[in-house]
């Protein structure tokens, strides 16, 4: 059954445009409370958010709806998405709710749910919540109303968890690290994690005002991080996105180290210590260089559809532990249940410490193919498979690449865009093919 509200990453859109409205969130809290309590999962839900201004409004609306359904609420305030997954488990809540639009600008917002195990809700539970939304809202009797309270030590709990994902004997002493928090949900916890592990921390993007989340900063716009790393002669930089589930790094030369390269570093380190267990899962967008580099070390590689939900499904299906996306959304199932930017960065730092090599040296083991991606704006949902003009253009491009590259067209699951990606050995050819395809797609949509 098709979902009406839930997409691949929860419910997301522009604030004020249905369903990202206060009245809908009130009803959503109530509907979720009804379903979750009927599943026998307890009567407590935790709510966390990033730093965008609309979070206050939606936090209050969800709290009211959950209370009306008889569900107790624990409020975390601004906390990274993976922290909410972790705290949902450790606080024994029946679910966790994240108010965030991840790497989007402040004018967007959204809702993501975690199960009591700290994983995304199954499809059948999301469908059950949608079915409940169609019913009239009925408040429980007054003596059954849910109560709400703050969790004062949430940040400290999560900081300690992050530190526990690398060996106790490891220290970051002697490393200067620039930590870029995108004026988002990690602004309080991320600098503390690296500082408490001994690093000299230069923290930027830690002054949220409700409107500047992801603004010219964060994992999607790392130019500022590069500049600060070079200016401070730092050993490396860590850029997180607005909700903290993605990470991109910069080496001491100012070169970007993306999710594919970080995934390679983590996987190779796990193999060398004998804890890899299975292969590595990437996505349709993962660079061919990652696939070839892993194969050269006898590490199997498979591709899932784009989206952490699908990476996680493939990891479980193949009994593997390490997977991720080029965007820096990396899942280490041997450490936690979901993508975690801080935890992923710590795994890379652990690999540096064990090997005695710099980030620049570690990433050199993978040679990336030239890749160009162009985002084509759209105003409606499109079916590119039904466009003969677009499909003919794709086939022609693949013929010209002569088996030495890839073409991928993919509607974004979170933004009104079609992503046009071309990859191959020749950078100029890749750029030309991408430009041509993007113009054809733009005309078609």
Catalytic residues: 102
The residue ranges of DSSP E strands in 271-379, in sequence order, are 280-283, 301-304, 322-324, 330-332, 371-377
The residue ranges of DSSP E strands in 83-209, in sequence order, are 95-99, 108-115, 148-150, 176-180, 200-204
Token reading at 354: 């064990």
Tell me if the bond preceding 19 is cis, omega within 30° of 0: yes
SS3 415: coil
Token reading at 397: 């491009």
Check: CB of residue 80 under 8 Å from CB of residue 243. Answer: yes
- Tokens 């899932």 map to which residue? 304
CA 125 to chain centre: 21
**H or E element that contains 342:** helix 341-355
Token reading at 280: 């590595």
Phi/psi for 283 (5° steps) reads: -130, 180
The residue ranges of DSSP E strands in 94-212, in sequence order, are 95-99, 108-115, 148-150, 176-180, 200-204
Check: CB of residue 315 under 8 Å from CB of residue 331. Answer: yes
Q: What counts of helices (H) and strands (E) characterise the chain?
A: 14, 18
């Amino acid at each position: 059954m098709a979902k009406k509200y839930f997409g691949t990453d929860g419910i997301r859109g522009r604030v004020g445009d249905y369903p990202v409205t206060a009245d809908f969130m009130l009803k959503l809290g109530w509907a979720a409370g009804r379903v979750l309590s009927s599943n026998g999962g307890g009567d407590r839900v935790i709510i966390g958010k990033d730093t965008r201004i609309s979070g206050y409004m939606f936090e209050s609306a969800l709290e009211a709806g959950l209370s009306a359904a008889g569900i107790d609420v624990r409020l975390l305030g601004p906390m990274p998405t993976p922290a909410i997954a972790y705290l949902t488990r450790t606080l024994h809540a029946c679910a966790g709710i994240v108010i965030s639009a991840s790497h989007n600008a402040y004018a967007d917002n959204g809702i993501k749910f975690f199960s009591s195990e700290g994983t995304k809700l199954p499809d059948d539970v999301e469908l059950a919540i949608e079915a409940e939304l169609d019913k009239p809202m009925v408040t429980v009797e007054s003596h059954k109303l849910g109560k709400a309270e703050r969790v004062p030590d949430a940040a400290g709990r999560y900081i300690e968890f992050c530190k526990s994902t690398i060996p106790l004997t490891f220290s970051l002493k002697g490393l200067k690290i620039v930590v870029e928090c995108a004026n988002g949900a990690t602004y309080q916890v991320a600098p503390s994690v690296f500082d408490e592990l001994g690093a000299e921390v230069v923290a930027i993007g830690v002054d949220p005002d409700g409107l500047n989340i992801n603004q010219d900063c964060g994992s999607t716009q790392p130019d500022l991080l590069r500049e600060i790393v070079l200016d401070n002669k730092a050993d490396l930089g860590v850029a997180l996105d607005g909700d903290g589930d993605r990470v991109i790094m910069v080496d001491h030369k100012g070169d970007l180290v993306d999710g594919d390269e970080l995934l390679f570093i983590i996987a190779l380190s796990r193999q060398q210590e004998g804890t890899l267990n299975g292969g590595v899962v990437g996505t349709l967008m993962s660079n061919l260089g990652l696939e070839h580099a892993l194969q050269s070390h006898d590490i199997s590689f498979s591709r899932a559809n784009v989206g952490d939900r699908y990476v996680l499904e493939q990891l479980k299906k193949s009994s593997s532990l390490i997977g991720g996306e080029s965007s820096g959304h990396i899942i280490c199932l041997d450490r936690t249940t979901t993508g975690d930017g801080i935890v992923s960065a710590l795994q890379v730092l652990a690999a540096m410490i064990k090997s005695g090599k710099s980030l620049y040296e570690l990433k050199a083991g993978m040679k990336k193919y030239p890749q160009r991606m162009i985002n084509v704006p759209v105003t409606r949902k499109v079916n590119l498979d039904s466009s003969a003009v677009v499909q003919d253009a794709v086939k022609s491009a693949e013929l010209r690449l002569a088996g030495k590259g890839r073409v991928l067209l993919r509607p974004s699951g979170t933004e009104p865009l079609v992503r046009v990606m071309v990859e191959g050995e020749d950078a100029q050819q890749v750029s030309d093919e991408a430009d041509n395809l993007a113009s054809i797609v733009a005309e078609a949509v």
